[in-house]
């Protein structure tokens, strides 16, 4: 029997997602048909659907590189990233049982914030 696959957002990721939806809704009401926000939301929604089909679609982050922030806050033992439009990243972890696989989205990060969280320095 195949396991079902879900994609859930952390509280923080859900707040970001809802705010992005609000901004896009406001833009559409004003007649804006193509913006960075709309592209980012479309990208998130596409990746969400992709993760339902292939939970390991992202890039696995080595355990030694998992930021303390995620270890402490979410008690993760695996971390994945998937690229979004505009150099943004979706950070998620996989949680599995015999019945289902859950993609738990922890964060949406722009490039600069991603570098800070993961300890990458500018050259």
| pLDDT over 80 (residue 123) | no
| pLDDT over 80 (residue 1) | no
pLDDT for position 99: 85
Q: What does pLDDT average to over the chain?
A: 93
Domains plus CATH for the chain?
A: 4-117 (3.30.2310.20)
pLDDT per position as a tens digit, 40-99: 999 999 999 999 999 999 999 999 999 999 999 999 989 999 999 999 999 999 998 888
Alpha helices by DSSP H, 1-123 = 11-29, 36-53, 68-74, 111-117
- Give Cα separations from 112 to 14, 89, 117 (angstroms): 20, 10, 9
CA distance 83 to 59: 9
Please indicate, yes or no, whether the overall pTM of this predicted structure exceeds 0.75.
Answer: yes
């Amino acid at each position: 029997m195949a396991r079902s696959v879900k994609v859930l957002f952390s509280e923080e990721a859900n707040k970001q997602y809802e705010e992005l939806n609000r901004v896009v809704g406001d833009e559409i009401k004003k007649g804006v048909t193509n913006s960075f926000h709309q592209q980012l939301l479309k990208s998130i929604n596409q990746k969400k659907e992709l993760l339902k089909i292939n939970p390991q679609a992202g890039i696995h982050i080595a355990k030694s590189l998992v930021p303390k922030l995620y270890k402490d806050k979410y008690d993760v033992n695996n971390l994945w990233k998937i690229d979004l439009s505009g150099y943004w990243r979706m950070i998620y972890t996989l949680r599995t049982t015999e019945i289902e696989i859950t993609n738990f989205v922890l964060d949406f990060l722009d490039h600069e914030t991603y570098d800070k969280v993961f300890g990458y320095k500018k050259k």
